[in-house]
Structure 1
Amino acid sequence: MYRPEKTFYLADLIGTTVTDASGATVGRVVDFTFLVGGKFPKINQAVVQAAGRAEKHVVPRERFQTFGTDGYVLAAPLREMPRLLDCPEQFLARSIWDKQIIDTSDIRVVRVNDLEIAEVRGDWYLIAIDVGVQGLLRRLGFDRWICPLFERLRWPVRHEVIAWDLVQSFPTGFSPLKLAVPSNKVKDMHPADLADILEDLSVQEGISLIQTLDDETAAETLAEADAETQAQIISSLPPHEASDILEEMEPDEAVDILQDLDDRKAAEILSHMEPSEASDVRELLKHDENTAGGLMSTGYATIYEEFTVADAFKHLRLVAVDLEIIYYLYVIDHNNRLKGVVSIRDLLVADPTTPISGIMDKDLVFVSPETPQEEVASLISKYNLMGLPVLNSEGVMLGVVTIDDVMELLLENMPRMWKRRALSS
């Protein structure tokens, strides 16, 4: 876009008098329509309310003799212009006021208080949104005296605008408007940032955001969100969509969400999941959420005790793609009983021909599925473990509680000040 010749705000234009060629008042400007599809939407028509009547007309720019901050003078009678009611597909500028949108620059949800407009080579474009207090005061008509007053008191009202091309709309957020803003601005965000945004939205807006993402990104985003947001979103989605997202999660993460839903809803979502995925989740749901069984993940890497180091690496390359985190390789026999543990570091420094049985740690630290979560956390902390295996009474491996699961547990119960220090250290 070329350098703007003028910039002004929508709030300053609303209510401006419209006259005919003789100077007689025929109405007032109550809104503008704009075209979508370009980087900056182009304003192409004014919405004029007839003087003394509720009727509104849509007037193209070319039907004005004068159009702009110098005044609005019609070149043709207002009654000849189409009524707004007869033009339902128009995108109205005022419909954006008070909408929540994503600022993809600062990763936050903001509310639109006003719109900044630029005149470029005679055309008008929406170039930015005003999300600051000044924009709200402008709309209320208070900015002309409150802002100078605050300046004199040395409490300036901050001017806060966001360029239009840094804004991402929700698919239904401007209903019926769908802005032509690149959706990859949102899709390229880190799931943790998306989760922060998700927690600031209403449930319906959150659903709209989640539905713009692919299943894998949606799953990663929900996994980062707080438990209340997770439950609200998943319970509000159609069951088949909810199941698709949960299938992309680690089974223990899916279980955490399903445990916060009512039994009927959880069962309905499970019925839409792939049998193999549902089976893993149902197995974990048998355990109390405050025990090792409720914390553990069924995604871990195992090898047989007769493997060599070279065999272990070959096997690891095959299974690693399906595992989110690999801290250790768990050595089992052919009855799935745990025999030892090998760290990735030990593998890296060992000779490829070395038998796994020669380097594995046989002094096992483990828990049962019924072990309370506090004891699990204590053992991981005491022995500086990255993962703690969960075994049944026969020594068969059922899952692993990782340090990530315990960190979440510790942070949930940590005073806010300590939590901030832990996260920043």
Structure 2
Amino acid sequence: MFTVSTFFFSSVIGKKVFSSDGKTLGRLKELIADSAVMRPKIVGAVVSFKDGQKTVDFSGFKITVSKNRCHIVCPEVKPVSVDGDGMLSLFRQVLNAHVVDMNKKKLVPVNDLKIAVLSTGAYVVAVDAGLEGRLRRLHILKPVRKLLKLFDATVPRHMVLWDDIETINFGKTGTGLSKSVMKLSRLHPSDMADIIEDMDHDAQLGVFSALDTERAADVLEELETDTRESLLESLPPEKAADVLEIMPADEAADILDEIDEEKAEEILKEMDSEASGEVRELMEYEDYEVGSLMTTDFICFHDYDTVGFTLETLRREKPESDTIYYLYITSDKGELIATVSLRDIVISEPEVKLGDIMNRDVVYVHDTDRIDSLNDILAKYSLLAVPVVDANKILVGMVIINDVMYNLLRSRRKRL
């Protein structure tokens, strides 16, 4: 018999608790951990005594193992208060919950917990997210191992160190949840979206609501349509409006087209009037029209502007990379006249006027043209973006090749 340095939570829960002289005191029903420290420290144990359940101090507990069986001794029944922020009930709140494996960037189940006993106390040090943990809790791990051994196979293991996980749904709210989300926010928006999609609706709403506006906008773009629609339907209109306001108008329009019209109108009313106006205009286009796919975030100048003025404007505005594939030259009325490449701007002297280096041979489409026509134009002329004009040849937007490809892939998925 020896004092164990580690044990699994499933090995002790429900087991008898003995006094120092070997008398049965009751059964262990729960362990309470303080999550305010780096690794949750076990501070209390809920024991079912003859006269009812009591939460007692865990610091004096001794756990030994003999023939793979745990023996729990409580030398002194000393009641302890476990109220306050950061206290976790391992059985009620943690077991069967989900955590984020930060290394694999995915949501994993808590099938069991590994606890280490150190000189300073007992700490949760790892999560068993594999089948082995599930079988251990069902008390059938040993026979399953023997059976698989006949076929030269083993039970899959997936142990994740507590240092490498992030908790997101242990009943946290407010500041507690925000701190967890701060760590998750370091992930790529696409990885965050994958994680959120695997959560239940309440967890999705809690995590997304705790994100800052810019990060929320990035993640919203990456979410699958069903998840995005569900979130926007549940979010307060003002929160949804704040997020959509900082997104490109075309993306905001696409997203609002996916949700209930009444909810979309509520969100639009909460948005800044200028932003909502742009979005409303884009939403009026039919799904098959180029206007429904274009972005209204484009850069345009006049032929009398100089190269120096153009560069100063670009530095000040800091446009997105995909909106400066080409710079467009318009008349004072907004009519599309020509294009100018960044290369020509960079190699020209500051005092040179754009009219001297612009290209009047412009390939463009109308906002009411069919989206299908874009595929041939982009391929034929090897363009990364195409300007969009209205019936009066007023520049109203541009279509980026990435959006065309995304629309094509989405259409194919719908047909499958």
TM-score (norm: length of structure 1): 0.88
Matched, 1:36 2:32: no
Q: Separation in 2 of the partners of 1:315 and 1:393?
A: 29
Letter in 1 for 2:234: S
Instruction: Provide the residue aligned with 2:171 in structure 1.
Output: 175
Equivalent residues in 2 for 1:52-131, closer than 5 Å: 55-62=52-59, 64=61, 66-67=62-63, 69=65, 71-76=71-76, 81=79, 90-94=87-91, 95-121=93-119, 123-131=121-129
The alignment partner of 1:259 has SS state of helix
Letter in 2 for 1:32: L
Q: Separation in 1 of the partners of 2:232 and 2:386?
A: 30
Instruction: Provide the residue aligned with 2:44 in structure 1.
Output: 45
Q: Which moved more, 1:386-395 or 1:194-203?
A: 194-203
The alignment partner of 1:168 has SS state of strand
Instruction: Provide the residue aligned with 1:139 in structure 2.
Output: 137
Q: Separation in 1 of the partners of 2:101 and 2:205?
A: 18
- In structure 1, which of residues 217, 220, 234 is the aligned counterpart of residue 218 of structure 2? 220
Work out whether residues 63 and 74 of structure 1, in 8 Å CA contact, stay in contact via their aligned partners in 2: yes
Q: Separation in 1 of the partners of 2:64 and 2:262?
A: 59
Instruction: Provide the residue aligned with 1:200 in structure 2.
Output: 198
Q: Separation in 1 of the partners of 2:178 and 2:396?
A: 49
Per-residue deviation, 1:258:
0.3
Work out whether residues 336 and 393 of structure 2, in 8 Å CA contact, stay in contact via their aligned partners in 1: yes
The alignment partner of 1:101 has SS state of strand
Per-residue deviation, 1:376:
1.9
The alignment partner of 2:262 has SS state of helix
Work out whether residues 17 and 27 of structure 1, in 8 Å CA contact, stay in contact via their aligned partners in 2: yes
The alignment partner of 2:364 has SS state of coil
Q: Separation in 2 of the partners of 1:228 and 1:291?
A: 24
Q: Output one character per residue of 1:201-230: Cα deviation in whole Å (capped at 9) or x when no partner.
A: 223222222122210011011112222222
For the aligned residue pairs, the C-alpha RMSD in angstroms reads: 2.6
Q: Separation in 2 of the partners of 1:194 and 1:88?
A: 30
Matched, 1:298 2:296: yes
Letter in 2 for 1:175: G
Per-residue deviation, 1:401:
0.7
Instruction: Provide the residue aligned with 1:253 in structure 2.
Output: 251
The alignment partner of 1:347 has SS state of helix
Matched, 1:349 2:357: no
Work out whether residues 38 and 180 of structure 1, in 8 Å CA contact, stay in contact via their aligned partners in 2: no
Per-residue deviation, 1:182:
5.5
Work out whether residues 133 and 158 of structure 1, in 8 Å CA contact, stay in contact via their aligned partners in 2: yes
Q: Output one character per residue of 1:278-302: Cα deviation in whole Å (capped at 9) or x when no partner.
A: 1111121111233111001110100
Equivalent residues in 2 for 1:5-20, closer than 5 Å: 6-20=5-19
Instruction: Provide the residue aligned with 1:156 in structure 2.
Output: 154
Runs of 4+ off more than 4 Å: 67-70, 86-90, 176-183, 321-324
Q: Output one character per residue of 1:269-327: Cα deviation in whole Å (capped at 9) or x when no partner.
A: 01111112111111211112331110011101001011232232222223234776321
The alignment partner of 1:155 has SS state of coil
The alignment partner of 2:377 has SS state of helix
Task: Give the paired residue count.
Answer: 404
Q: Which moved more, 1:88-97 or 1:232-241?
A: 88-97
Instruction: Provide the residue aligned with 1:421 in structure 2.
Output: none
Instruction: Provide the residue aligned with 2:405 in structure 1.
Output: 407
Work out whether residues 116 and 129 of structure 1, in 8 Å CA contact, stay in contact via their aligned partners in 2: yes
Per-residue deviation, 1:137:
0.6
Matched, 1:311 2:309: yes
Work out whether residues 37 and 180 of structure 1, in 8 Å CA contact, stay in contact via their aligned partners in 2: no
Where do 5+ consecutive residues of structure 1 fail to align?
Answer: 417-425
Letter in 2 for 1:266: A
Report the identity percentage: 30
The alignment partner of 2:202 has SS state of helix
Q: Separation in 1 of the partners of 2:10 and 2:144?
A: 16
Q: Output one character per residue of 1:318-367: Cα deviation in whole Å (capped at 9) or x when no partner.
A: 32347763211010011010000112123223344433223222122111
Work out whether residues 304 and 333 of structure 1, in 8 Å CA contact, stay in contact via their aligned partners in 2: yes
Alpha-carbon spacing, 1:199–1:176, altered in 2? closer, same or farther (3 Å):
closer
Letter in 1 for 2:156: R
Alpha-carbon spacing, 1:231–1:179, altered in 2? closer, same or farther (3 Å):
closer
Q: Output one character per residue of 1:363-399: Cα deviation in whole Å (capped at 9) or x when no partner.
A: 2211111112111233222221111111111110111
Matched, 1:26 2:25: yes
Per-residue deviation, 1:109:
1.1
Q: Separation in 2 of the partners of 1:181 and 1:107?
A: 18
Q: Separation in 2 of the partners of 1:106 and 1:121?
A: 32
Work out whether residues 178 and 210 of structure 2, in 8 Å CA contact, stay in contact via their aligned partners in 1: no
Per-residue deviation, 1:176:
5.2
Work out whether residues 195 and 225 of structure 1, in 8 Å CA contact, stay in contact via their aligned partners in 2: yes
Letter in 1 for 2:15: T
Work out whether residues 27 and 48 of structure 1, in 8 Å CA contact, stay in contact via their aligned partners in 2: yes
Q: Separation in 2 of the partners of 1:122 and 1:375?
A: 70
Per-residue deviation, 1:136:
0.6
